[in-house]
């Protein structure tokens, strides 16, 4: 049975009919055409689908859409303001942290939550912070550098 759920995506109110089995990932990709959120495994194992729900980074493949009534969802598309990129996005480009790029948006969303507290972050905290996001191309070296750069320049 589908159910109407009202929630915010990137600052805009949406009223969406969702089936009980439909995850936030599928709603974002299919119904909202927000393709920046990626499906890597659909089982909470890779983090490619990470978005924010009420400011907290979550796996959207593990979040049922019908649980989102009244929530605020932010995706990678909501991070930049037009051509103005988030400092994390710029740091990822400048530090060479992007290779195939499939994991990139999920990691940036996880890092965004890490940076939100405003507290200083050391390398170890960053590595533990993104341990739920897999990357197969980079060995994480330049990803950690990029996050550190964005963290230090807050």
Partner 1 sequence: MTNTTVVGQSILRPDAWEKVRGGKGFPVNVSLPGMLHGKLLRSPYAHARIVKIDASAAEALPGVKAVLLPRDVPQIRFCPVFFVPTLAPSMIQDMLVMGETVRYAGQPVAAVAATSWKIAEQALELIEVEYEELPAVFTADAAMREGAPRLHADAEGNIAKNPIFEFGDLEAGFAEADHIFEGTYKTQRVHTCYMEPRVCVVDSDADGRLTVYSSMQHLFGLREKLAFALGLPESMVNVIKPPYIGGGFGGKLDIGYIEPIAALLSMKTQRPVRIEQTRYEDFITTTRNPIEVYLKTGVKSDGTFTARYARSTLDCGAHATHGAEVIMVHGMFGILLTYRCPNRTWEGRVVYTNNMIGGGYRGYGSPQGAFAVESQIDEICEALKLDPIEFRLKNAHQQGDPHPFNPGFTLSTYRFEDCLRQGAERINFSRRGKAGSGDGVLKRGIGFGCQPVWVSGCMGFPDIYEHSGAIIKLNPDGTANLSSATVDMGSGQITTLCQIAAEELGLQADQVRMTYADTETVPFDAPSHASRVTYSSGTAVKAAAANVKKRVLEVAAIMLDESTEQLEVRDGHVHSKGSGRKLSIAEVVQRAESPFVQMTAEGPKPTTIAEKGTIIGLSSLAPPSNPSPSTVEFVEVEVDTETGQVKVLRVVFAHDIGKVINPAGAEGQVEGGFQQGMGYALMENILFDQETGACLTSDFLDYKMPTAVEMQFPIESIFIESDEPTGPFGAKSLSEPCVTVPAPAIANAIYNAVGVRIRELPITPEKILAALGKL
Write phi, then psi, for 15 (nearest 5 degrees).
-115, 115
Q: Which of 31, 62, 72, 99 binds partner 1 (CB under 8 A)?
A: 99
Query: Which structure tokens are listed for 88?
Result: 């994390």
The binder of partner 1 chosen from 24, 68, 144, 150 (CB under 8 A): 144
Q: Considering only CA atoms, which of 81, 109, 94, 95 is closest in space to residue 140?
A: 95
| Residue 145 neighbours by CB distance under 10 Å | 18
Beta partners for residue 4, in sequence order: 17
Instruction: Figure out which of the listed residues 64, 72, 137, 149 binds partner 1, where binding follows CB under 8 A.
Output: 137
**Minimal distance, residue 70 CB to partner 1, in Å:** 26
Sites of contact with partner 1 (CB under 8 A): 19, 21, 34-36, 38-46, 48, 76-77, 80, 85, 89-90, 92-94, 96, 98-105, 108, 123-124, 126-128, 130-144
């Amino acid at each position: 049975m589908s159910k109407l759920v009202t929630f915010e995506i990137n600052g805009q109110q949406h009223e969406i009919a969702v089936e009980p089995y439909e995850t936030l990932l599928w709603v974002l990709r299919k119904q909202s055409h927000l393709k920046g959120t990626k499906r890597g495994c659909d089982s909470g194992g890779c983090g490619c689908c990470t978005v924010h729900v009420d400011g907290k980074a979550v796996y959207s493949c593990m979040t049922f859409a019908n649980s989102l009534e009244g929530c605020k969802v932010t995706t990678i598309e909501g991070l930049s303001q037009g051509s103005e990129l988030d400092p994390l996005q710029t740091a990822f480009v400048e530090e060479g942290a992007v290779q195939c790029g499939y994991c990139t948006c999920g990691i940036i969303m996880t890092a965004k939550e890490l940076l939100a507290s405003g507290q200083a972050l050391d390398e170890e905290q960053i590595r533990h912070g993104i341990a739920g996001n897999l990357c197969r191309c980079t060995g994480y070296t330049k990803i950690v550098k990029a996050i550190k750069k964005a963290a230090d320049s807050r």
